[in-house]
C-alpha cells in the first residue's frame, strides 16, 4: 500500500510500539494515530515520509524525542499528552505545533492557534464535496441535448374564409368544419 495518502487509526485503543514500517509510504500526506495507547520511541522510518504534512500523535504514551520528524514538510503536528522529552527541533517551531501535556518542551516553543487536524480535514472534505457537485452539474449540463418541445396548436381559418365555409356548411348538411392543427417545433 505504498500509494497511501491518508491514514487515520485514531480512537481505536491500539497499544504497543509502532514498527519501523513507514519507509515505503512516501506519498503519505496525513497520519492520525491520536487517542490510542501506543508507546515507545517514534520509528526512524517516519523521516522517509517525504510528503507528510499533517501528523496527530496526541493522547498516546510515546517516549523519546521527536527529532525523527525534524526534516519533514509538516505544517501541523500534535504531540500533546505523550511522554516525549528533549528539545523541539528548530524546524518544527515555525509550524502549527500542539505540545501541551508533553514533557520537556523546548523553551520558546509555542502553541499557535489554528484549525487543528479536524478543521483542516473538514475543510478538505467540504471543498471536495463542493467540487464534486460543481463537476456533476457541469457534466449534466454538457450532456443535456437541447430539448425539443412539440406543441399542437389549433388553427382556425381567417374570418373571410369562415364566412365562405359557413355558407358552404349551410348549403351542405354533410360537411363538418373541424379546426386545423399545426405542429410547431420549438428549440
Residue 161 lies in a domain: no
Residue 149 lies in a domain: no
Residue 143 lies in a domain: no
Residue 24 has pLDDT above 60, yes or no: yes
Alpha-carbon torsion angle 166, 168, 170, 174, nearest 10: -110
Residue 30 has pLDDT above 90, yes or no: yes
Residue 129 lies in a domain: no
Q: Which CATH number covers residue 74?
A: 3.80.10.10
32, 8 contact by CB (below 8 A) = yes
Hey, how many other C-beta atoms are within 10 angstroms of the C-beta on 96? 18
Residue 110 lies in a domain: no
Question: Which span out of 13-17, 140-144, 158-162 was modeled with the highest average pLDDT?
Answer: 13-17
**Number of structural domains the chain divides into:** 1
43, 18 contact by CB (below 8 A) = yes
Residue 96 lies in a domain: yes
Residue 108 lies in a domain: no
The mean-pLDDT minimum among 23-27, 127-131, 142-146, 174-178 falls in 174-178
CA–CA gap between residue 168 and residue 153 (Å, rounded):
25
Nearest to residue 97, comparing CAs of 77, 124, 74, 75?
77
The pLDDT tens digits of the residues spanning 150-177 come to 555 555 555 555 555 555 555 555 555 5
In the chain, % of residues over pLDDT 90: 45
Count of residues making up the chain:
187
- What DSSP designation does 51 have? T
Query: What is the average pLDDT score of the chain?
Result: 78
Q: Which residue has the higher pLDDT, 134 or 74?
A: 74
pTM: 0.55
187 CB burial (10 A radius; 0-12, 13-18, 19+): exposed
CA–CA gap between residue 30 and residue 56 (Å, rounded):
8
Amino acid at each position: 500500500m505504498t500509494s497511501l495518502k491518508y491514514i487515520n487509526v485514531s480512537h481505536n485503543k491500539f497499544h504497543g510500539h509502532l514498527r519501523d514500517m513507514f519507509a515505503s509510504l512516501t506519498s503519505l500526506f496525513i497520519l492520525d494515530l491520536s487517542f490510542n495507547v501506543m508507546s515507545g520511541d517514534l520509528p526512524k522510518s517516519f523521516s522517509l515520509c517525504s510528503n507528510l504534512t499533517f501528523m496527530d500523535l496526541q493522547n498516546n504514551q510515546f517516549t523519546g524525542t521527536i527529532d525523527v520528524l525534524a526534516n519533514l514538510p509538516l505544517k501541523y503536528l500534535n504531540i500533546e499528552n505523550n511522554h516525549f522529552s528533549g528539545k523541539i527541533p528548530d524546524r518544527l517551531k515555525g509550524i502549527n505545533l500542539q505540545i501541551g501535556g508533553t514533557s520537556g518542551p523546548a523553551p520558546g516553543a509555542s502553541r499557535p492557534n489554528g484549525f487543528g487536524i479536524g478543521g483542516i480535514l473538514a475543510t478538505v472534505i467540504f471543498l471536495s464535496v463542493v467540487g464534486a457537485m460543481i463537476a456533476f452539474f457541469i457534466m449534466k449540463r454538457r450532456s443535456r441535448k437541447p430539448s425539443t418541445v412539440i406543441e399542437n396548436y389549433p388553427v382556425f381559418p381567417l374570418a373571410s374564409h369562415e364566412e365562405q365555409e359557413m355558407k358552404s356548411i349551410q348549403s351542405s348538411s354533410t360537411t363538418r368544419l373541424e379546426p386545423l392543427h399545426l405542429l410547431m417545433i420549438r428549440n
